[in-house]
Structure 1
Amino acid sequence: MSASSAKSLTQKFWDASSKIISTTEKHEFLTAMVDGSLAEDKFIYYVLQDCLYLTDFADCLHKLSLKAPNAAHKKRLAELALGAENDEKELHRSFFTKWGIDDSHVEAMPNTLLYTSYMLRVVSTRPYAEGLAVLLPCFWVYMHVGKVMLKLREELGDSVKRIPQFDAWIDLYASEEFEKEVSDYIAMVDDIGKDEIYVNEYDGDAEAMQSKMQEHFIMCCKLEHMFWDQANSLMKWPDL
């Protein structure tokens, strides 16, 4: 068996997106968070948009749990939906309390709406396999950049001072708890390539299924990058 054919389904997706991901891990927004130079208004903008994103992301996980063809997937997806809605957003809410911000009337900015609309469309209208794939970058890329940022923070040591919210964000996404969630999700996606029940939705064409899954994975890796671009530029809707 060749090295290529021995790769897991998700590793193939990751490899196909490696250029995008390697660029994202060095994104100015993220590196500035670690070295403490990120303007607080950019971080506040990001967190407000991310809270909106997580509402739709949790909804996507819930919708997938209802579509899942086996009990194990149903249970874990429902748990992950609760985790996104409660644990991740709890961090955001703690930031809002600290800043004295009311987030109840925040408008989704262009790249937020683009990303969430794409996810919701795929989860709602496409087969289960594609729904799983479209949500994977949010888990995996966040874990990856969290660990990259943690390493950079350790290299910088105590010479750099950051606002506490920056460190809290890094600690969450570089944590063992989050890594466990990501590992579980990756395992579910890899299950897809081992069960004919999923391939049957593509008339038995496994390559067609995997191609569509990879297409969504790559697109959402791009959208992840664009989400940080949006915060870094404080993107607004045109004033028409």
Structure 2
Amino acid sequence: MAWHDRAPDSFTATLWDGIGDVWAEIRAHPFLTGLKDGTLDHRAFVFYVIQDAHYLREYARALAVCGARANDVAGIRMFCEHAAGAIAVERELHESFFADFGLSEADVAATPMAPTNVAYTSYLLSAAYGGSYAEAVGAVLPCYWIYAEVGRELLAAGSPDSRYQRWIDTYGGEEFAEVVSQVLDAADAVGPSLSEADRAAAAHRFTTTSRYEWMFWEMGLRRETWPV
């Protein structure tokens, strides 16, 4: 089943239906429309890429915890492979951008995490360690799914900026779509066994991290810093 076309009665379709208003705001966000038309300030993009590199390190930790808590061998393997991929494959993309903009690894390491990044990653790890397995999956899922949806839409439009097109090609491509499909299938496999309370808890995690996705792009656009 395609990642963007889930069965209407599936657990993941229910989760997605619950963030319709958030998704509408994400699609219209100036950071993403700026990627599409090439008008996004390169300084905002560089800031975002550095913050995303920091984010992926913590996201990989959350995925590894999901793997440790998975109900079957397939889930353990999938999340552990994805944790490694978050560091290896996507970091390779970031490092190509760092080279384009003349940034060294030391420059990136010396840049502190922005407030929204600290809040988002802290929430992810809290959900992964402290919630149920379903809550952990609900928390990590928006980063997969929303990026795939964004990538698909932007790929159809393209970008006049070659750097932004490279980003779009990564998240709008078939390879990433297959990764997302795996996680959605895993979430749908868990859904039927959940009580109403457990489904609501997982949905709450999903909605919260979907909001953080919007906030992350807002953070990048504003090049967010600590106020004090």
TM interval, short-chain normalised: over 0.9
| Residue in structure 2 matched with residue 220 of structure 1 by the alignment | 209
| Residue in structure 2 matched with residue 203 of structure 1 by the alignment | none
- Tell me, which stretches of 5 or more residues in structure 1 are unaligned? 154-159, 200-205
1:183 aligns with 2:181: yes
**Distance change in 2, residues 1:6/1:151 (3 Å):** closer
Amino acid at match of 1:194: P
| Residue in structure 2 matched with residue 142 of structure 1 by the alignment | 147
| Residue in structure 2 matched with residue 171 of structure 1 by the alignment | 169
**Distance change in 2, residues 1:6/1:22 (3 Å):** closer
| 1:100 partner SS | coil
Give the CA deviation at 1:100: 1.9
1:27-176 superposed matches below 5 A: 27-102=29-104, 103-153=108-158, 161-162=160-161, 164-176=162-174
1:29-77 residue CA offsets vs partner (Å, 9 max, x unmatched): 1111111111100000000001111111111111111111211100111
Give the CA deviation at 1:116: 0.4
Deviates more, 1:62-71 or 1:176-185: 62-71
1:78-117 residue CA offsets vs partner (Å, 9 max, x unmatched): 1111111111111001111222213121201011111100
For 1:85 and 1:122, the matched residues in 2 are separated by 20
| Residue in structure 2 matched with residue 202 of structure 1 by the alignment | none
| 2:220 partner SS | helix
For 2:29 and 2:117, the matched residues in 1 are separated by 17
Percentage of matched positions with identical amino acids: 32
TM-score normalised by structure 2 residue count: 0.93
Spell out structure 1 runs of 4+ moving beyond 2 A: none
Give the CA deviation at 1:194: 3.2
| 2:181 partner SS | helix
| 2:192 partner SS | coil
